A and B are shown apart, each in its own frame.
Chain A
Amino acid sequence: MNLKIIQTSVYSFTIYISETINPSNLDKISCIHNFIKNLDGIQEIVCSYVSIYVEFDFLNYNFSDYKNNIMKQNFKLNLNNKKDKIIKKIPVFYDFSVGFDLKDIMNEKNLSLDEIIYLHTNKTYKVYANGFLPGFSFLAKIDEKLKMPRLSNPRLKIPKGSVGIADIQTAVYPKQSAGGWRILGQSPHEMFSKKYDGLSFLKVGDEVQFYPISKRKFHECN
């Protein structure tokens, strides 16, 4: 693996796995994550699309020891260990009443509502990162035909459960928040709860698929 390790503060460093987003990063990140989390003095690890951010106890440990240790490892991806992947399914009510940006996307992309729903649900996504808000998972990549930039003027309030897209990513807002993603619909599914092991419904590396639900089903779940 060709790793680049940069010290990013007195007590943190970032390991770059790749310069571009692609699914093979996830296996590499998971492999390095497993190694790092067992090292002494590690306090935080945040995995993302192409990088792993690490905080350490700088009073007792130092960056160059970590760097040398990581660089001398010969990380081997365990490709035989392909578990049967479980696809986590998330219900979405795609409707103008909760999908505030559907009309703009239809106009901009020249798509019907059904086509938007088809493009968003007919694909499995991978969880590349968790962050921004507790239970907010960054999923990618969405169909090129749906790709839209973030709103230039973010909304101050996006309701809990809102399902949005931004560039190549899609995500569910786990709670009401400000945000600039374009909203397609709303999910009644809890994304963050003490009932989940690890609190977040989705974990980095998970596979996810959305499916459409009716108004009746949506209101039943709420």
Chain B
Amino acid sequence: MNAIKIIKPAILATLQDLGRKNYKNIGISTSGVMDEEAYFLANNLLSNPINQPIIEVFYSDFQIQALGDINLVVTGAKVDIKIDDKTIEQYKTFMLKDKQILKISNVKNGMRYYIGFKGDLLLNKEFGSYSTSIKEEIGVFQKALKSGDLLPIKTKFLTDVRALKKQYIPKYEDNLILRVTRTNQTNLFEKLSLEHFLNTTYEVTTMQNRLGYKLKGDMIKTKLKGIISEGICYGAVQIPPEGIPMILLKEAQSIGGYPKIANVISVDCNKLSQAKVGTKVKFVLLNFDEATKVCKNFYKEMSWQ
């Protein structure tokens, strides 16, 4: 049996797929990959089935060893990749041979990179998914991958090397425009508060994790205080009493009591999850028809089966 062995752990490297469906009703978060674009591109290059698990690594060095030959690809944040002294390109499939060590370092552009592998993971899903949810300690490993952890794989092999054309490789800009739609409380916010929200340039801070991103910027003044707790959506922009937007992402709680001014479309949550500290963020309001079209196009482009 072949396997990926973790040699050097990262700040946070976790096993992820597209997350859990239909467990929010008992308080289990969706979880899943933070950047679906990098995830889909990796599995597309490997001709993997939809919802194949992947390793998501947050902003740090990481090393793995192959036990038996394994086809891999690295996507997402820009990094340096080496096997022995040989440099490996991103967005291009390669073979990590038995006993070889893959060394990834020096995250340059973006915050999260993804290591996709070809073949079936021989571990059990938990609640219908391989995703690790750190807060809930749910998933195969229940926490971040540590050195010595093994991912046993029933390998399959690509017959050729596959690479993404340069122009399709995502870039992560220092100025981010996040497209939003209206949501639960948009109508309850004062007109001036909504205008203020759409006219302000915010900044990404260190207050961020897989649950969400807290931004920095001018306070939104509103008379709207807490609401009666209700189910919340991926991408929800909460405005807590201090008036600073907090965007909820993959591991966010299922129910919340802060008013929500807007909802970032899922396609743009991908970009947010790659935004480094200091990235400037502006919000642009789309109507639901426009937003639906953008999202449909994305998922159509990304699905290959």
Contacts of B80 in A (CB 8 A): none
A126-157 interface code vs B (CB 8 A; 1 in, 0 out): 00011111111010000000000000000000
B288 close to A10 (CB less than 8 A): yes
A129 close to B255 (CB less than 8 A): yes
B296 close to A129 (CB less than 8 A): no
Report A66-86 residues with CB < 8 Å from chain B CB.
none
Given contact pairs A6-B184, A58-B295, A130-B27, A48 touches B253 in the complex (Cβ within 8 A): no
Contacts of A130 in B (CB 8 A): 25-27
Binds A, one of B4-12, B170-178, B232-240: B232-240
Contacts of A63 in B (CB 8 A): 288
Instruction: Pick from A12, A53, A134 the residue with the most CB of B within 10 Å.
Output: A134
| Minimal Cβ-Cβ distance residue in A for B260 | A8
Contacts of B147 in A (CB 8 A): none
Contacts of A10 in B (CB 8 A): 181, 265-266, 288, 291-292, 295
Min Cβ gap A203→B in Å is: 9
In whole angstroms, what is the CA distance A8 to B25 when docked? 17
Given contact pairs A55-B233, A58-B295, A138-B229, A131 touches B254 in the complex (Cβ within 8 A): yes
A9 close to B27 (CB less than 8 A): no
Min Cβ gap A125→B in Å is: 16
Q: Is B48 an interface residue (CB 8 A)?
A: no
B231 close to A131 (CB less than 8 A): yes
| Minimal Cβ-Cβ distance residue in B for A129 | B255
A134 close to B138 (CB less than 8 A): yes
A36-66 interface code vs B (CB 8 A; 1 in, 0 out): 0000000111111111110100110011000
B233 close to A8 (CB less than 8 A): yes
A44 close to B27 (CB less than 8 A): no
Q: Is A200 an interface residue (CB 8 A)?
A: yes
In whole angstroms, what is the CA distance A19 to B138 when docked? 35
Q: Which of B135, B230, B263, B265 contacts A51 (CB 8 A)?
A: B230
What are 30 residue pairs bridging A and B, where the CB atoms are less than 8 Å apart in the complex? A6-B183, A6-B184, A8-B183, A9-B181, A9-B233, A9-B235, A9-B236, A9-B265, A10-B266, A10-B291, A10-B292, A14-B231, A21-B228, A44-B25, A48-B228, A51-B228, A53-B230, A53-B233, A55-B233, A58-B292, A58-B296, A129-B255, A131-B25, A131-B253, A131-B254, A132-B27, A133-B27, A134-B136, A136-B27, A200-B26
Using a CB–CB cutoff of 8 Å, the interface residues on chain B facing chain A are 21-28, 135-138, 181-184, 228-236, 253-255, 260, 263, 265-266, 288, 291-292, 295-296, 299
Using a CB–CB cutoff of 8 Å, the interface residues on chain A facing chain B are 6-12, 14, 21, 43-53, 55, 58-59, 62-63, 129-136, 138, 175, 192, 198-200
What are the nearest 8 A-B pairs in CB distance?
Answer: A53-B231, A46-B231, A131-B255, A131-B254, A9-B263, A131-B27, A9-B233, A200-B26
